[in-house]
Amino acid sequence: MKYIEWGEKQSTKDGSRWSEVPSVSGRTFWWGIGHNKFPEVIFPCGIANIYKIFDNSIQVLNDKRLYEIYTKGNEATKYLMTSTLFSFFIEIESRAGLGDGLLDITVYEVAENLLPNTDLFDKKKTMQIKKIYEKLLSRSLQSIFSEVKQQDRIELDTVILGTLGIDVNIYLPKIYEGLCELVKERLELPKMRKKKQKEEVKYARDKVKEDVIADCLENGIRKFPEDFYTEGNYDNLEFESYPTNGKRLVAESFFDSFQMKTEEGEMIFELDSEIKAKLAELLSKRNIYQIKIPKEERIIEQVIKNYYSYAKKLKEQLEVNAKEKTHDWAKAEKIAQEIMTDYGLYEGDLQ
């Protein structure tokens, strides 16, 4: 009562009392649900791989995604709806309307679904299937693939098919096999479609990437560091040589020197300037076993500066070219970065 009294004092955004809202103002009691009849069975409108109905003996109210089933005093109806035969008819007569293959069953599909003639189930037969039905109520229903292996399930379906005059030994395995196959196909088909779509997207993306490379890197990439020295033949310079282990190196400042270490922290050699350390880092990304560094730092600075300028301009070209093909800057940037990584190209700047 306190909740109702509280609600009577509440208003909507436009100032109307809750009790005056059109959707409830016509009721005898504005707060009343107006429901005085409870269905014997509640049927869910969405089915994945578990076929279930809800026995409403405890009389709960249901929402619009749960359909009300009234047996009109015919007790056998509830038990027959639990049968695999009923599930089989639901499967073949309904449509997969939601994502991932979920059956989205309408009211009319449930109402028109085939059900064994209840007149064939006299009081004795009805009591027989009721006892099995109560066994099912005592446990959780499983996916149809496991459910058809349960003894109480087989027992229920055997009695029902036998009453209908159907050869259980021949047709019950066929019903189980057919239903399981239909459910499997329904659930797997959306996954196959998604997989195919992803593959098609990946193929299209890879094709764009190939075309961008063909347009922007027709002659390959410039060789580092040789092609970035502009004053003569790079190989004729005087070098300092340092043996290494083929792993990428990272420079760590240590007083007036720079220790070249692997990513695991192992120190390989030491250099006396930051610009030399920067070149050593770039060269180590080529997985080489001997690092040659020009003795003149002016030359090192020129080579690195030219290399960074080249990498920056090339990436911009790749992005523009990819944008023309994808019409999407985010995708274009990602494709360009992948190409840069594939070719071992790195952006940067000298402080």
Q: Evaluate whether 310 touches 316 at the Cβ level (below 8 Å).
A: no
Confidence of residue 213 (pLDDT cuts 50, 70, 90): very high
Tell me the residue type at 283: L
Compute the mean pLDDT over every residue in the chain, rounded to the nearest whole number: 91
Confidence of residue 61 (pLDDT cuts 50, 70, 90): confident
For residue 294, what are its two tokens? 């020009």
Report pLDDT for 350.
Answer: 61
What would the mean pLDDT of 75-87 be, rounded to a whole number? 95
Q: Are strands 54-55 and 239-243 parallel, antiparallel or unpaired?
A: unpaired
183 vs 88: CA distance, rounded Å: 10
42 vs 69: CA distance, rounded Å: 6
By C-alpha distance, which of 343, 237, 248 is closest to 292? 237
What would the mean pLDDT of 301-328 be, rounded to a whole number? 94
The percent of residues in the chain predicted with pLDDT above 90, rounded, is: 67
**In this predicted model, what pLDDT tens digit does every residue of 175-188 receive, in sequence order?**
999 999 999 998 98
What would the mean pLDDT of 116-123 be, rounded to a whole number? 94
pLDDT at 52 over 60: yes
- Stretch among 16-25, 132-141, 223-232 having the lowest mean pLDDT: 16-25
Q: Which residues contact residue 85 at a Cβ distance below 8 angstroms, ignoring those fewer than 6 apart?
A: 116, 157, 160, 161, 175
Alpha-carbon dihedral angle through residues 22, 69, 73, 148, given to the nearest 10 degrees? -160
Please indicate whether residue 201 or residue 311 has the higher confidence score (pLDDT).
311
For residue 5, what are its two tokens? 């009294």
Report pLDDT for 203.
Answer: 67
pLDDT at 351 over 60: no
Q: Which residues contact residue 149 at a Cβ distance below 8 angstroms, ignoring those fewer than 6 apart?
A: none
For residue 319, what are its two tokens? 């992005």
pLDDT at 200 over 90: no
Q: What is the pTM of this model?
A: 0.53
**In this predicted model, what pLDDT tens digit does every residue of 33-48 receive, in sequence order?**
776 688 999 999 889 9
**In this predicted model, what pLDDT tens digit does every residue of 260-288 receive, in sequence order?**
999 999 999 999 999 999 999 999 988 89
Place of tokens 């005093």: 73
Please indicate whether residue 127 or residue 73 has the higher confidence score (pLDDT).
127
65 vs 104: CA distance, rounded Å: 10
Please indicate whether residue 22 or residue 129 has the higher confidence score (pLDDT).
129
pLDDT at 8 over 80: yes
**In this predicted model, what pLDDT tens digit does every residue of 138-155 receive, in sequence order?**
999 999 999 999 999 999
Q: Evaluate whether 176 touches 148 at the Cβ level (below 8 Å).
A: yes
Annotate 236-255 with b (16+ C-beta within 10 A) or e (fewer).
Answer: ebeeeebebeebebebeeee
